[in-house]
Amino acid sequence: MDSIMRSVAVVGGGLMGSGIAEVCARAGMDVVIHEVDSAACERAIGRIGASLDRAVRSGKLEETAARSALSRLTTTTRLEALAESDLAVEAIVENEPAKRTLFESLDRVLAKPDAILATNTSSIPIMKLAMSTSRPEHVVGIHFFNPVPVLRLVEVVTSLLTSDRTAARAEAFARDQLGKRVIRSKDRAGFIVNALLIPYVLAAIRMFESGFATADDIDAGMVEGCAHPLGPLALCDLIGLDTTMAVAESLYSEFKEPLSAPPPLLIRMVEAGLLGRKTGQGFYSYVR
């Protein structure tokens, strides 16, 4: 069978989903973005258009290439429109029941017998999603990082039931078609990157919460003292405090390690809707 991905479905056109759709379209694939309504579809296309414009202005992308990428993007509110996709990438909210329900639906919809069902989850074990389908051997984690058009890394995560062929096709898609650097992870909450990152970010939140140091000083310590490109609290704002908390809860649920438990301040900020850059306020203000 041909292992090249020519048609890709991205379910969820938010920050991550639109980034995934953009890099696939720029790589020459036909991409269908599924969203809940027409307004969300328009926002996804607008987000991608703005990203392509930035790439053109910075000299990283030719204008003709940007227009070509946009021409390969379509949107839909009907899951049935994804039936002929070679690959479907789930990029909805980081919520296990919602993802399981979606995977049940995608399993019924995808018509090609070798179609891959992938999740961009940051932390939910792949097996939990795979067992919502009748073809767990075709389910794999393909975890991109924000911003997707800029960051090269992709984690390919295989469950106990993911076939070797599915894993190889997923890796070839990310490495050869998208030009990403691929790392392989076993199927455990947090995978490689977030299993290391989230306890570090939570430690910074606890330090700030205790009054030990200011947000600026905590971040400056890691940027100027450890050569990190971004401090942990600014990074948390970039990731999204809701996503950070969801990953922390997944890690704590699996390992019961206190360092992975969401600090009270993080919980309160999420409850207040202070989610970071995407809402204009987190540990820092982004309101112009």
**Gap between the terminal Cα atoms of the chain:** 52
Cα–Cα distances (Å) from 167 to 84, 110, 125, 265, in that order, read 20, 18, 16, 39
Mean pLDDT by 10 residues, the chain (288 residues): 87 96 98 97 97 96 97 98 98 94 97 97 94 98 95 97 97 97 96 96 98 98 97 96 95 94 98 96 91
Predicted local distance difference test score (pLDDT) of residue 2: 62
Predicted local distance difference test score (pLDDT) of residue 288: 66
Please give the order of strands across the beta sheet that includes 7-11: 73-76, 30-34, 7-11, 87-90, 116-119, 139-144, 153-157, 181-185
* pTM assigned to the model: 0.91
Q: Are 236 and 204 in contact (CB under 8 A)?
A: yes
Q: How many residues does the chain have?
A: 288
User: Which residues, listed in sequence order, are joined to residue 8 by a DSSP beta bridge?
Assistant: 31, 87
**51, 85, 159, 194: which one is catalytic?**
194
Our answer to whether residue 257 is catalytic in this structure is no
Residues 6+ apart with CB under 8 A from 237: 276, 277, 282, 283, 284, 286
State the average pLDDT for the chain: 96
**143, 159, 171, 249: which one is catalytic?**
143
Our answer to whether residue 122 is catalytic in this structure is yes
- The helix (H) or strand (E) run that includes residue 143 is strand 139-144
The CATH number given to 7-185 is 3.40.50.720
**155, 171, 249, 260: which one is catalytic?**
155
Instruction: Give the CATH fold of the 195-279 domain.
Output: N-(1-d-carboxylethyl)-l-norvaline Dehydrogenase; domain 2 (1.10.1040)
Q: Are 80 and 110 in contact (CB under 8 A)?
A: no
Predicted local distance difference test score (pLDDT) of residue 287: 81
**122, 159, 250, 260: which one is catalytic?**
122
The structural domains of the chain, with segments of one domain joined by +, span 7-185, 195-279
